[in-house]
Amino acid sequence: MHLITSSVGRKLLMAVTGMMLVGFITVHLLGNLSIFAGSEAINIYAEKLHSLGPIVWIFRLIMLGLFAVHIALGIQLTMENSSASPEAYAIKARLKTTFAAESMIYTGLILLAFLLYHLLHFTVQVVHTDAVATLQPLVNGRLNVFAMVGNSFNSAFVSIAYVVAMCALFLHLSHGLQSFIQTLGLNNGPSQDKVSAIGKLVAIFFGLAYIAIPLAFLFHIVKI
């Protein structure tokens, strides 16, 4: 089986790259949740990451590759589905579907737009420059990432933009996780509903945990 030319191969690549991206958002979430442990925790975490030097760039290149393959195959899959024969469409229309499944391409594109904005915001630091780290005083000789994140989310506009993007993340994961299990052939027989429920619960967890970060600053539950 050729991974790119066969549709099964492409689905498999989609599933594997998707799962690796879930691995990234899990680690990223754990790092970000350290804001609830106070300013030092996330500042030390960010300093450790930056001190990895070339490893950070190798990691960034791998991430870029994963995103590129996942997005390109997602767009191709959507175009193939929409140009499918009327018979295939009739069969598809009879199958049980969900809002999350139907909106995969849209939630995916919202996430892509979010990612570009997010990188310009916290990594390149060229948007919301009044709040970004380069303008924050160093704390114990460290870049004050805590203040950068907190000052940004004190703005209702920025917080709402992140909350909307995290809702898209929830919807995307809620179908993506089930789809991953289905592609691997683990989702059959009586276990099907259980697997769907677990996928949805995991997606809810990610959505709520990520949304908690901007809201905690916006409502001053975590203070800068």
Looking at the Cβ atoms of 35 and 187, the one nearer to ligand HEM is: 35
Looking at the Cβ atoms of 15 and 42, the one nearer to ligand HEM is: 42
* SS3 call for 133: helix
Phi, then psi, of 96 in degrees rounded to 5: -65, 125
Member of 32, 174, 183, 196 binding ligand HEM (CB under 6 A):
32
* SS3 call for 139: strand
Member of 14, 73, 203, 213 binding ligand HEM (CB under 6 A):
213
Count of beta carbons in the 10 Å neighbourhood of residue 200: 18
How near is the Cβ of 214 to ligand HEM at its closest, in Å?
Answer: 5
Size of the site for ligand HEM (CB under 6 A): 21
Looking at the Cβ atoms of 27 and 93, the one nearer to ligand HEM is: 27
Is residue 177 a contact point for ligand HEM (CB under 6 A)?
Answer: no
For the record, the structure tokens of 61 come out as 């290149």
Is residue 46 a contact point for ligand HEM (CB under 6 A)?
Answer: yes
* Interatomic CA distance for residues 104 and 67, integer angstroms: 15
* SS3 call for 131: coil
* Interatomic CA distance for residues 188 and 177, integer angstroms: 15
Q: Within the chain, where are the H helices?
A: 7-32, 39-50, 54-82, 86-94, 99-102, 104-118, 145-153, 156-183, 191-218
How near is the Cβ of 150 to ligand HEM at its closest, in Å?
Answer: 10
Member of 214, 217, 218, 222 binding ligand HEM (CB under 6 A):
214
For the record, the structure tokens of 214 come out as 């901007």
Member of 15, 104, 110, 145 binding ligand HEM (CB under 6 A):
145
Q: Which stretch binds ligand HEM (CB under 6 A): 25-33, 75-83, 96-104, 193-201?
A: 25-33
Member of 15, 111, 131, 222 binding ligand HEM (CB under 6 A):
111
Looking at the Cβ atoms of 4 and 61, the one nearer to ligand HEM is: 61
How near is the Cβ of 2 to ligand HEM at its closest, in Å?
Answer: 29
If we measure between CA atoms, which residue out of 200, 222, 169, 182 comes closest to residue 24? Answer: 169
Are 120 and 113 a contacting pair, CB within 8 Å? Answer: no
Interface residue list for ligand HEM (CB under 6 A): 25, 28, 32, 46, 49, 56, 60, 63, 111, 115, 118-119, 122-123, 145, 149, 162, 169, 210, 213-214
